[in-house]
Structure 1
Amino acid sequence: MILACHGINKAFGEEIIVKDGSFHIEDHEKAALVGPNGAGKSTIFKIIAGELPSDGGSVILTKGKTMGYLAQHQDMNTDRSIYEEVRTAKADIIAMEQKIRQLELEMKDLSGDSLEDHMDSYNRLTAAFERENGYAYESELTGVLKGLGFQEEEFTKPVNTLSGGQKTRVSLGKLLLTKPDILLLDEPTNHLDLNSITWLETYILNYPGAVLIVSHDRYFLNRIVTKVIEIENGELMTYSGNYTDYSQKKQQIREARIKEYLNQQQEIKHQEAVIEKLRSFNREKSIKRAESREKMLEKIKPVEKPIETNKDFQLKLEPATISGNDVLTVEHLSKAFPPQTLFSDISFEIKRGEHVAIIGDNGTGKTTLLKILNQVLPADNGTFTLGTNVQIGYYDQEHHVLHMEKTIFEEISDDYPTLTNTQIRNMLAAFLFTGDDVFKRISDLSGGERGRVSLAKLMLSEANFLILDEPTNHLDITSKEILEKALNNYTGTLLYVSHDRYFINQTATRILDLTHHTFVNYIGNYDYYLEKKEELTAAYTENIDMTSDSSTDSGEVSASKLSWQEQKELQAKERKRQNELKKTEERISVLEDRDREIDDLMVQEEIFTNSVKCQELAKEKVQIAEELETLYKNWEILAED
């Protein structure tokens, strides 16, 4: 065990953050701390890191172990460059290297005992330098910075000129390079694109120390953690497994508690009815029996009613009118901000009912494309056409159409006067506005809070084509799940940009990957994209060097030569082949099992002495052999395709 928290208590006034909370982290363990926004996750991290005192309890770090802490927000005002700032994480190694160089210079002019002493020091230092991977520390620095999304030309940028998100990435890089025995990471995937998140996953999975993470990225947690610590209503509870395991176990526990509560309430009502009936008989014996039951009822320890969660709220999202089948047609669209080209000559179509996710690295032009489609920005070349009866609902993080002087409640009620107070509160609660929060003025809200109000309004808009830019930013996991369910039940058409892989997996029926200034089309969710990414990127993107003559002969073509329809047909054909291959393998397995079963039956006395049964089994065995022969041939053809 490397870290233990025993009986932690913390409150801010009357608001209890954590009450008698305990958990521990083992050496090399990867764990997550989860809970709704405002539940106290960052507060617990600050208590563990010693930045905030607890009201009671203890935090114990194993003697001799080191801890590193990444807070959500970084205040870095140094005029050092990105590379120089991250290089400070290797100060000990750099100092060791300088001492080695100094000894080398001094030894040139020494002899005798003095030389021998210097040689001893030199040997000790070089051995330690090698153990600490000192000869490769500069490559390690470069690898971490590139992994976190910095280009080499950015390494010389002064830190005090960076955005908040870039400063957080610099801090994360420094922390990873110091290699403490336990890492506390508060929302480490914020401000990272998909490639950087994937890199960080691999880094943490291979990290030799322990890691405790706060994150709303469920895909990230599923890949990394083996334990989940939940904080809810001031209580800490530990679950083994990844996020999906935790979610399933939590739901099972909740359902069991609800069932237990309802059963007890039913039993109490039943006993009260029996008591009332016995008293109504107004006989000495019946009254005594009633009193006896009353005493038994008083001894029952009441089961606490499970607290309602945001998950109990349901968002209903339905378009007011049905659009035509052709919702959006994009033809030869191009956009550049010289000298940078974002995308060129892109064409694609979106049909009614499709849920299309746009993914790609930061800066490739995903948000720009959405702005073009909503006429916020002009395209350089090309056109796009909306289909019949298409009504767009647009969520843009930079252009929220909100009235600054109104309260959150007024913002919804004025635009949707037919909604009841309860309906409005339920909608706002799903987006984390509860109690008196709904009476806050829009002008007093943070950017993230305004985004959540805009998203709530959009969910009520009854548009039949939703265009969303990073809709899950600033939402906690429960709110994401509510939004996912609403979008999956939505019968309209959906186009969105997101870095949330779990959200994409749950809601996308198709993915457009913006890479090499063009789109690669994937008919499936994020898992399908991962499975086919390498193959399709090589097949569809322009200017990919073919590695051998055989790959050139195989008929690989670029995206510019394949229409969207052709790409769709190719991938549909491939998926059909995979399905047929799987079915063939399953049928072969069933028949082979039956063939072995017949062999076993034929040696049993009750079978081989029964001529009729023997003939039936022999006939079935011949039929199996014939069908297997056909299946084997089909399997070979499908496998070779």
Structure 2
Amino acid sequence: MPPRIFETEMTTIALKSAGYTAKTNLFNDLTLTIGSGDRVGIVAGNGAGKTTLLKCLVGENELTRGDITLSRGARIGMVPQAVPEKLLDFSLFDAVATGLDAETLESESWRVDVVLDTLSTPEDIRNLPVRALSGGWQRLMLLMRAWVSDPDILVLDEPTNHLDLEKIARLEQWFMGIGDVPVIMASHDRSFLDAVTNRTLFLRPETSRYFPLAYSRAREALEQEDASDATKRERDLKEASQLRQQSAKLKNIGINSGSDLLQKKQKQLRERAEKIEAQAKILHKERSGDIRLANRGTHAKVLVSIEELTVAAPDGRKLFSIPKLHIFQGDRIVLLGRNGTGKTSLVSMLRRVLMAGEGIEGIKATPSLVVGYMDQALDFVPEKLSPFDFISALGQGDQRTRSLLAAAGIDPDAHWTPGALLSHGQRARLGLLALRLMEPNFYLLDEPTNHIDIAGQEALAAEIIEHDASCVLVSHDRAFVREVSNRFLVIEKGWLIEADDPEGFFAAMGV
């Protein structure tokens, strides 16, 4: 059923015994109230129900069980993950304006200019079609479209996807100025969650956990509770085992002696053991799937040498210069720079030399390099092929392919689904699986954590470090950059310079 309306002076949205079952149970018995000043981050694995819950809150989906109640007159602004197809040919201004009803737009079109100004939208892009905008400005368009109607509650699905650090900083600052409007967001960006939320919901199939804390502190509390649950479960199951052993002994004695009293006692002990086992809490395990990498290794110490290289935009405009740069085995380099400074352009040049064999003066590579490349748009994952066809074509047998896909967190029902119809998370995991099977010894990664859940981000970071995988990466995920990288190259004032750490750049971006 759609959310029910109730009278209250304070804007609130409440869930009572809420549950949703699709092919599996996504969440169950979820009860909580979100009110003024609450900024809730929803955390769960890919495909674990975050978007489903958000759609239930705004009335696009219906709960399988339980209720959602909403204060009377409250307006909800929804920021989805994807831009609706119908908006792609609208100008940015007109796309934001669709957030207003016709009557309000006719009399108060100034609202659109105000919200565009609030997020410092450049004048020269306001009349561009949405499809011509960067992914970051498309994301901010969706936010402005939701905010222009002055909603009482704001719901966001992965708001930082495709945003560079400058826009993430702008978004974090924007959140500081929206007052006590309740906010509910699903996000995999750990640093962003810490910056803007004050409550965290860990969404789980059976017992979800809700803490009045931002992500990092909430996760510490969650780990403590999970550890306590594990200890209690172990203790309960040990007690049940002991009761069963006692029951078995009494049963043998009772049968041999013909004592009805002993047989009755052993039955009571067995029933008590069964009750304890039935009540023992099932421990939560993330279902997001494994992420693994490979590193076939190379004897070369210097993998790539760059000297007197100019990096240019597609139109030939100079972006920056590199006087000299050596990339050594074991280097985990992150490229840092403002949006448009040429990070992706450099990765593209490296890819053309290392993968396509194109000769570019100023770039030399060892012949033993085998490159694994992942772009943020996941263009290397075929849209027409199914996951099964894609992976089996990499030299895997049928049974091995099915096992690999399942281990990567791709449901059996999706094994034959065309790549274009997979979720972003499934496509990202499929791409990482393909990279692993190619067994590269050098990785080029452009925003590899886009669309991957937190467990997957941490697994990817651990794999890169464990395999001592040499890589050049572009990432706006601050937590991932801090975990993975051991060299930091910053594009600044037309030059590529080396920094000791990323903190100075992060501070300059305002994050």
Fold-level similarity (TM above 0.5): yes
Distance 1:185 1:443 in 2: 24
Compared CA separation, residues 361 and 294, structure 1 to 2 (3 A): farther
Say if 1:334 and 1:380, in contact at 8 Å, map to a contact too: no
Q: Counterpart of 1:207 in structure 2: which amino acid?
A: I
Compared CA separation, residues 449 and 261, structure 1 to 2 (3 A): same
| TM-superposed deviation, 1:291 | 4.9
Q: Counterpart of 1:394 in structure 2: which amino acid?
A: Y
2:119 to 141, 144, 155: 144
Say if 1:469 and 1:498, in contact at 8 Å, map to a contact too: yes
Say if 1:325 and 1:351, in contact at 8 Å, map to a contact too: yes
Q: Counterpart of 1:374 in structure 2: which amino acid?
A: R
Distance 2:218 2:384 in 1: 42
Say if 2:135 and 2:163, in contact at 8 Å, map to a contact too: no
Say if 1:465 and 1:492, in contact at 8 Å, map to a contact too: yes
Superposition pairs of residues 565-604 of structure 1, within 5 angstroms:
none
Residue in 1 that maps onto 2:268? 295
1:392 to 371, 389, 401: 371
SS at 2:276 equivalent: coil
1:453 to 430, 437, 440: 430
Distance 2:132 2:293 in 1: 42
Compared CA separation, residues 269 and 53, structure 1 to 2 (3 A): closer
Distance 2:263 2:356 in 1: 78
Give yes or no for the alignment of 1:60 onto 2:69.
yes
Q: How many residues align?
A: 489
1:197 to 147, 156, 168: 168
Residue in 2 that maps onto 1:72? 81
Distance 1:473 1:96 in 2: 37
Q: Counterpart of 2:327 in structure 1: which amino acid?
A: I
Residue in 2 that maps onto 1:181? 152
| TM-superposed deviation, 1:377 | 7.7
Compared CA separation, residues 11 and 188, structure 1 to 2 (3 A): same
Compared CA separation, residues 414 and 33, structure 1 to 2 (3 A): same
SS at 1:374 equivalent: helix
Residue in 2 that maps onto 1:251? 223
1:225 to 191, 194, 197: 197
Superposition pairs of residues 429-578 of structure 1, within 5 angstroms:
429=406, 431-440=408-417, 442=419, 445=422, 449-524=426-501, 526-527=502-503, 529-530=505-506, 533=508
Residue in 2 that maps onto 1:128? none
Distance 2:360 2:385 in 1: 40
Say if 1:181 and 1:210, in contact at 8 Å, map to a contact too: yes
Residue in 2 that maps onto 1:155? 126
2:333 to 356, 366, 381: 356
SS at 2:119 equivalent: helix
Distance 1:290 1:366 in 2: 77
Residue in 2 that maps onto 1:214? 186
| TM-superposed deviation, 1:204 | 0.7
| TM-superposed deviation, 1:276 | 3.4
Superposed CA deviations along residues 521-565 of structure 1, whole A, max 9, x for unmatched, are 2233x446435x589xxxxxxxxxxxxxxxxxxxxxxxxxxxxxx
Q: CA RMSD in A?
A: 3.9
Greater mean alpha carbon deviation, residues 1-10 or residues 36-45: 1-10
| TM-superposed deviation, 1:397 | 4.9
Greater mean alpha carbon deviation, residues 194-203 or residues 457-466: 457-466
1:319 to 283, 288, 295: 295
Give yes or no for the alignment of 1:273 onto 2:273.
no
Q: Counterpart of 1:142 in structure 2: which amino acid?
A: D
Give yes or no for the alignment of 1:170 onto 2:141.
yes
Residue in 2 that maps onto 1:622? none
Residue in 2 that maps onto 1:371? 348
Distance 2:132 2:437 in 1: 40
Distance 2:89 2:370 in 1: 49
Compared CA separation, residues 317 and 23, structure 1 to 2 (3 A): same
SS at 1:506 equivalent: helix
SS at 1:348 equivalent: strand
Q: Which has the higher helix share?
A: 1
Q: Counterpart of 1:182 in structure 2: which amino acid?
A: I
Superposed CA deviations along residues 125-148 of structure 1, whole A, max 9, x for unmatched, are xxxxxxxxx9xx9576334143xx
Superposed CA deviations along residues 561-607 of structure 1, whole A, max 9, x for unmatched, are xxxxxxxxxxxxxxxxxxxxxxxxxxxxxxxxxxxxxxxxxxxxxxx
Identical positions, percent: 25
Compared CA separation, residues 23 and 335, structure 1 to 2 (3 A): same
Greater mean alpha carbon deviation, residues 237-246 or residues 176-185: 176-185
Unaligned runs of 5+ in 2: 1-9
Superposed CA deviations along residues 153-202 of structure 1, whole A, max 9, x for unmatched, are 22222447657764442231233344433211122112321100111011
Say if 2:83 and 2:142, in contact at 8 Å, map to a contact too: yes
Q: Counterpart of 2:496 in structure 1: which amino acid?
A: F
Residue in 1 that maps onto 2:4? none
2:58 to 24, 49, 62: 49
Residue in 2 that maps onto 1:126? none
| TM-superposed deviation, 1:77 | 3.6
Compared CA separation, residues 193 and 161, structure 1 to 2 (3 A): closer
Distance 2:348 2:481 in 1: 21
Unaligned runs of 5+ in 1: 99-133, 536-641
Say if 1:332 and 1:381, in contact at 8 Å, map to a contact too: no
Distance 1:362 1:97 in 2: 30
Compared CA separation, residues 265 and 435, structure 1 to 2 (3 A): farther
| TM-superposed deviation, 1:86 | 4.2
Say if 2:21 and 2:64, in contact at 8 Å, map to a contact too: no
Say if 1:431 and 1:475, in contact at 8 Å, map to a contact too: no
Q: Counterpart of 2:77 in structure 1: which amino acid?
A: G
Compared CA separation, residues 186 and 318, structure 1 to 2 (3 A): closer
Residue in 1 that maps onto 2:3? none
Say if 1:36 and 1:476, in contact at 8 Å, map to a contact too: yes
Superposed CA deviations along residues 196-246 of structure 1, whole A, max 9, x for unmatched, are 011101111332022211111111001111101222216543122111122
Compared CA separation, residues 290 and 247, structure 1 to 2 (3 A): farther
Say if 2:250 and 2:263, in contact at 8 Å, map to a contact too: yes
Compared CA separation, residues 142 and 88, structure 1 to 2 (3 A): farther
Q: Counterpart of 1:183 in structure 2: which amino acid?
A: L
Say if 1:2 and 1:62, in contact at 8 Å, map to a contact too: yes
| Bigger CA radius of gyration | 1
2:282 to 293, 296, 305: 305
Greater mean alpha carbon deviation, residues 370-379 or residues 241-250: 370-379
Say if 1:6 and 1:20, in contact at 8 Å, map to a contact too: no
Compared CA separation, residues 405 and 234, structure 1 to 2 (3 A): same
TM-score, normalization: structure 2? Answer: 0.81
Distance 1:233 1:483 in 2: 24
| TM-superposed deviation, 1:508 | 1.4
